[in-house]
Structure 1
Amino acid sequence: MAERAAPAMMPRRYSRHLLIPEVGLEGQERLLSARVMCVGAGGLGSPVLSYLAAAGLGRIGIVDDDVVDETNLQRQTLFTTADIGRSKVTVAAERLTAMNPHVAVDPFPVRLDASNARDLVRPYDVVIDCTDRFLSRYHINDACVLESKPDIYGSLFRFDGQVTVFNLNDGPCYRCLFPTPPPIDTVPTCAEGGVLGVLAGIVGAFQANEALKAILRIGEPLSGRLLLIEALSGSTREVRYARDATCELCGVEPSIVEVVDVQLEEPPPSDVPELDPDELKSAMDSATLLDVREPHEVVLGTIDGAVHIPSSQLLARMHELDSARTYIVACRLGQQSRWAIRRLEDAGFRKLLHLRNGLLGYAAYDAQLAIF
């Protein structure tokens, strides 16, 4: 990361900040000298990066190893149709530079993990977690605690969002709130559960606001306060939490002294054979496809001959299935189907197969199947 002098004050560009007593010249100079790392350049990263660049931060780092996909465009406002297939951090850097050429942008086209987290966050003053992966959240949090950086967290699911600030002024960390990861098959992402596009802008704007407050040292930060945003009702509420003295990372006697890989709890092992997506069609000659997606997912596309019982109705409708038949159990991405297989096994079904990577994986082999 090449160093350069902070940009000169530009009174006209930042005049609306200068008029605010709590910001003023001193505050704008703090922004101009601030260094912020944004991990994730997607739905949350788009508004965060846009507002921070417009605010005149001195340096912004962007970490993301992904490329722009058509499904991103519904909520990731930094990108256009012409950007599909391009590196997200490359496009984001171009957009921010066009928006404010006085901001230095450091693009990192890598995935933050246990091996590089501390090195990535170390040069920055504030870290903003705009990811949607539980493993990344633990890596970001652990690196921030070990490097003494505040971690501004946001998350999205369908119509609900969350925002809080970890590790600010000896406040609680992510592990104080979530000591252990959840089971792997209960962790939906935006790709699995969906998200209302505008909610990403709302939550991301809150994250950008918390970053500015931390840099300017104004207001009451959301440290120890989890803000819950409900888009359908237009309401918000807070859940307060405290630093945990027994926390393995920031507690009185920490046992975690380095960023470590976190293992999501695996579901109980199953002997059910796995089918690769390209094997599905031939397997259906002697087996029935059991599609456990929810009704709103099925309307996006299905396969002729499939039996559809949503996972949410499986226990109540299991009597409709014949335990003597062989079923290929499938969902959209391969997680809900694992849950369904365990329920079927508990009920005595033994002739089961599992479609690896779900119907979305199969769609890559069948151009007629429109599943996104």
Structure 2
Amino acid sequence: MAFSPQESRRYARHLVLKGFGGSGQQALKAARVLVVGAGGLGSPAIAYLAGAGVGTLGIVDNDTVSLSNLQRQVIHRTDAVGAGKAESAAAFASALNPHVQVVVHDIRVDAANAADIISAYDLVLDGTDNLATRRIVATACEAAGIPLVSGAVSMFDGQVTVFAPHLTRADGTPAPRFADLYPPEADDADLPSCEATGILGPLVGVIGSMMAMEAVKLIAGIGEPLIGRIAVYDGKTGRVSEIGF
């Protein structure tokens, strides 16, 4: 899969990057990545994955852009208020990098359609804001053997982890499942909502970018993905801690 002269110039900083180089960029170009949610976390993830040169980028969201989104959902413009988020995000990604094939799924993910949507991709990023949808996405990814990068934010804090229960850890045991972190009894009613408690805009940029970083690591086979580990970012102190599970 050769790069055009334009692609070679566009990805020049990747191509000269030791430990990544041409093979890493080829892996990105061949990858099919789905981002579920084109909001706060999806915005930076979509931007960096498109910029990095992911070959096919799917975007799922049936919500519309509202004025209150723009404080943190930076891929949407003021003139997109009222437009579908998936279409708005796709327009941003295509304008940023015309070499990326963007697939729009203007639909809400549910138990009936999740498997069909997800099965067309190699990797999924979930930036949705409710446990019900997260659980559906995780179940479909686990059944299909597809890695899932999961991010979450609240007020000044955020976290990122990777679920890949189809893989085994160094000791031979399966990697943790979504249910190991979020048991069935966990409910959205127990969690604070962004509307009720607020959220600092740059926080989603930090966590969404970390999600994109995990995605690139998984695609290119570099580094140590956050499988069985949660990176927790405290926005007030700037500290990142790690929790194993």
State the distance in 2 between where 1:239 and 1:19 align. Answer: 34
Residue pair 1:67, 1:85 contacting (<8 A) in 2 also:
yes
Q: Report SS of the residue matched to 1:213.
A: helix
2:128 to 103, 125, 131: 131
For the Cα contact (< 8 Å) 2:31–2:219, is it kept in 1?
A: yes
2:75 aligned with 1:78, yes or no? yes
Q: Which residue of 2 is the match for residue 114 of structure 1? A: 111
Runs of 4+ in structure 1 deviating by more than 4 angstroms, as ranges, are none
Cα distance change of structure 1 residues 7 and 64 upon mapping to structure 2, 3 Å threshold: farther
- 1:182 is paired with a residue whose SS is coil
Partner of residue 214, structure 2: 210
Is residue 31–residue 215 contact of structure 1 (8 Å, CA) maintained in 2? yes
What is the rounded CA distance, in whole Å, between the counterparts of 1:119 and 1:183 in structure 2?
25
CA 132–181 in structure 1, closer or farther in 2 if over 3 Å, else same: farther
Give the conservation status (yes or no) of the 8 Å contact 1:32–1:56: yes
2:124 aligned partner, one-letter code: V
SS in 2 for 1:118: helix
Q: Secondary structure at the match of 2:133?
A: helix
Per-residue CA deviation, residues 239-282 of structure 1 (Å, 9 max, x unaligned), is: 101xxxxxxxxxxxxxxxxxxxxxxxxxxxxxxxxxxxxxxxxx
Mark the CA change 1:7 to 1:134 in structure 2 (over 3 Å): closer, same or farther. Answer: farther
Query: Which has the larger share of helix?
Result: 2
Q: Distance in 1 between matches of 2:214 and 2:188?
A: 30
User: Among the aligned pairs, what percent are the same residue?
Assistant: 42
Deviates more, 1:96-105 or 1:176-185: 176-185
Q: Where does structure 2 lack aligned partners over 5 or more consecutive residues?
A: 169-174
- Map residues 138-149 of structure 1 onto 2, 5 A cutoff: 138-149=135-146
- What secondary structure, in the 3-state scheme, does the structure 1 residue paired with 2:25 have? helix
Map residues 146-225 of structure 1 onto 2, 5 A cutoff: 146-167=143-164, 169-170=167-168, 171-225=175-229
Larger RCO (alpha carbons 8 Å, 6+ apart): 2
- Distance in 1, Cα, partners of 2:152 & 2:194: 10
Distance 2:116 2:180 in 1: 23
**1:180 Cα deviation (Å)?**
1.9
The aligned residue for residue 62 of structure 2 is 65
CA distance in 2, matches of 1:225, 1:144: 18
Length-normalised TM-score, structure 2: 0.93
**Residue 72 (structure 1) shift:** 0.2
Q: Which amino acid aligns with 2:234?
A: E
Distance 2:159 2:196 in 1: 18
CA distance in 1, matches of 2:188, 2:122: 32
Q: Which structure 1 residue ranges, 5 or more long, are not aligned?
A: 1-5, 242-372
Alpha-carbon distance in 1 for matches of 2:32, 2:110: 21
Q: Which has the larger radius of gyration?
A: 1
Could you report, residue by residue, the CA deviation over 1:65-110 in whole angstroms, capped at 9, with x for unpaired residues? Answer: 1000011001000111111000001111111111000100001011
The superposition leaves residues 309-360 of structure 1 with CA deviations (integer Å, 9 ceiling, x where unpaired) of xxxxxxxxxxxxxxxxxxxxxxxxxxxxxxxxxxxxxxxxxxxxxxxxxxxx
Cα distance, 1:181 vs structure 2:
3.7
